[in-house]
A and B are shown apart, each in its own frame.
Chain A
Amino acid sequence: MLYRLADAIPTIWLVLTLVFIAMRILPGDPAIAALGDGALPEQLAEFREKMGLNVPIWQQYFNFLIGTLTLDFGKSYMNGAPVLDLIARNLPYTIQLTVAAMILGTVIGIPFGVLAAVKRGKLPDSGMRIFSLVGYAVPDFYLGALFLIGFALNLRWFPINGAGSGFFDILHHLFLPALTLALVKAAFIGRLTRTSVLEVLGKDYVRTARAKGARENRVIYRHALRNALLPLATGMGLSLLATLSGSVAVELVFNRPGIGRLLIQSITERDYGVIQGGVVVFALMVVFVNLMMDLLYVVIDPRIRVK
């Protein structure tokens, strides 16, 4: 457990270094990359000054690492606001969306997958196959746009933009974007659940449970599903990250505040400081999610706990 936590440190260092290389070294001159070829020399100089680019590269690297560790991402080039503030303001919305989508997707996906596995070859199974084929193919932003047109614009059941304030208002604003991501996720989780439940149902200990006199529901939910969760946990980790990246587009569709929209907006505005901060935050979230998945494994599987 401690080992896993310790293992995250070099990973974070590696990620930050890669981000640094990508942002400062690969584009040649980051000032020109940020401001474009047509920028005036004075503008470039001012930019370098503001972004701390006029010191030797190793010092930039050092400053970058220290800055990230102390959560100091510098200031927005556009409006001078500290990047940390912008991130702090937007991050909760992205987390709201991702967590809601995760819960909704799991709640839809796992029972559907179990049903498909138990009724193998029957109607629910075919339904699962079609659902997962389409779910793998449909872009989340398209699904979101269709929901927006159908339920928000035409039926007026849901608001068309923003994130809302107050508990129920927030849920009201959250529903369509979360459902969009959740359906795509449910296709993946459902398929994965079906496969792992089918595999587990053939195991000897499932037969043992039946021999004990456990009824089918208990066999599936107490014995099979818990074991099927092991491979599912990895898949959930992957899909959590997929949902995180999907949230970028969905935030744009529903005009919701969030880290994704902040990053995309900063790219269009060439707001170098915010881009850098956003990229670092996304990178750290990925590392964090992977770490959480490793720890979750330990909780689910007693065999790992002991080793």
Chain B
Amino acid sequence: MTIAPSLSRQQPAASVHPGPLLKVEDLSIEFGPKGTAVRVVEGVSFTIDTGAAVGIVGESGSGKSMTSLAVMGLIPSPPGRIATGRILFEGVDLLGLPRSRMPEIRGRDIAMIFQEPMSSLNPVMTIGDQIGEAIKLHQKMGREERRQRVVELLKLVGIPDPERRLGAYPHQFSGGMRQRVMIAMAVACNPKLLIADEPTTALDVTIQAQVLELMHKIRRTLNTTILLISHDLGVIADICERVIVMYAGKVVEDADVKTIFRSPKHPYTRGLLQSIPRLKDENTRLYQIPGMVPLPGTIKQGCPFFPRCPDRIDKCARETPPLLEITPQQKAACWVSAGATS
């Protein structure tokens, strides 16, 4: 596959900003009216360097999707609201920007792919128009030039016969093809950061592999920094070098993918790893973490994983463990891993 020349021409000039591309600091997100608000994300901090691929893993309700929507400035508000924290993109606090500035950044600097390819495309617009719109919103370009670019993008994401498919409507595409269209739309302006929220969850297994392969290709060709949200550690390991584990709205572990597979430090991460099916030992029953994810707002003090934790000590019930650095490559929010004893 050859890289279309215009795609590489669009490459942003090397970032002048020295620090990490994205830095999230102490982010908390609340839902509901003030006073009775429920925190679905609490005190989340992490950084993503330019060119990196980082995954966030967690169960449903862990706050991982909300965290990514917060970066996009797309928390549904009301009832949602960002209670505390900063989101620094190339050193600029996105939360401090006036509301009217966010649309300039969305789609151009930060783009997003969503979980539901079936419903995420506008059913009454042709896919050519939908991808074209993403370009039109951020770049001055003639009609014909834009059309050419859409064709290139469709080629890039592997849609056969792109010239003809331009005028097709979403319902004429399969789920996998729609997700390719979504990806084409997201990378249309060569974003610096691409957020993919469960991009493969709604797809068949074989299609999943193809879409993951496409993500690799996007990364290779466009040099895009990727933030991948998934409940599936396997998917994350396929794409990312680093993984952030979230549980009940908090980051519980943050480490290299290799490190985390070799020696997970948080008992929740261990549980997750044990629940991945393996080909070798097909006789053993798949591990299941006992209990349920607590409802947001129900944990008042102590470690949120305490009720389900096999290794818990008394301290865990009283004090919430902060994210502690265990090695330079690995942080975990666990008293036991940090060396505490009852």
Contacts and interface: CB of A to CB of B under 8 A. Distances in A.
A204 B120 contact: yes
Interface of A: 203-205, 207-215, 222-223, 226-227, 230, 300-303, 306
Interface of chain A, main secondary structure: helix
Given A203-B119, A207-B74, A215 B124 contact: no
A230 B123 CA distance: 11
B10 to A, nearest CB: 16
Contacts of B100: 215
Interface in B58-103: 72, 74, 100, 103
A207 B123 contact: no
Given A211-B114, A223-B122, A223-B125, 8 more contacts: A204-B116, A211-B106, A212-B185, A213-B134, A226-B124, A227-B123, A302-B123, A302-B171
B103 A208 contact: no
Contacts of B186: 211
A209 B172 contact: no
B107 interface: yes
B182 interface: yes
B317 interface: no
B111 interface: yes
Interface string B129-167: 000011001100000000000000000000000000000
Nearest to A305: B169
Contacts of B122: 205, 208-209, 223, 226-227
Contacts, number: 78
A4 B185 CA distance: 37
B71 to A, nearest CB: 11
B124 A302 contact: yes
A204 B65 CA distance: 14
A303 B123 contact: yes
Contacts of B119: 203-205
Interface of B: 72, 74, 100, 103-108, 111-112, 114, 116, 119-126, 133-134, 137-138, 169, 171-172, 182, 185-186
Contact of A207 (B120, B134, B138): B120
Contacts of B120: 204-205, 207-208
Contact of A205 (B105, B108, B111, B121): B121
Contacts of B172: 306
Contacts of B106: 210-213
Contact of A214 (B123, B137, B169): B137
Contacts of A302: 123-124, 126, 169, 171
Contacts of A212: 106-107, 111, 133-134, 137, 185
A214 B133 contact: yes
A63 B106 CA distance: 69
B124 A213 contact: no
A131 to B, nearest CB: 24
A303 B126 CA distance: 11
Nearest to A230: B124
Contact of B124 (A209, A210, A227, A306): A227
A211 B123 contact: no
B72 A211 contact: yes
B120 to A, nearest CB: 4
A213 B103 contact: yes
A214 B103 contact: yes
Given A213-B104, A213-B105, A205 B138 contact: no
Which of A208, A210, A212, A215 has the most CB atoms of chain B within a 10 A radius of its CB?
A: A212
Contacts of B137: 212-214
Contacts of A306: 169, 171-172
Given A302-B171, A303-B169, A213 B123 contact: no
A226 B119 CA distance: 15
A211 B69 CA distance: 9
A213 B104 CA distance: 6
B124 A211 contact: no
A222 B120 CA distance: 15
Contacts of B124: 226-227, 230, 300-302
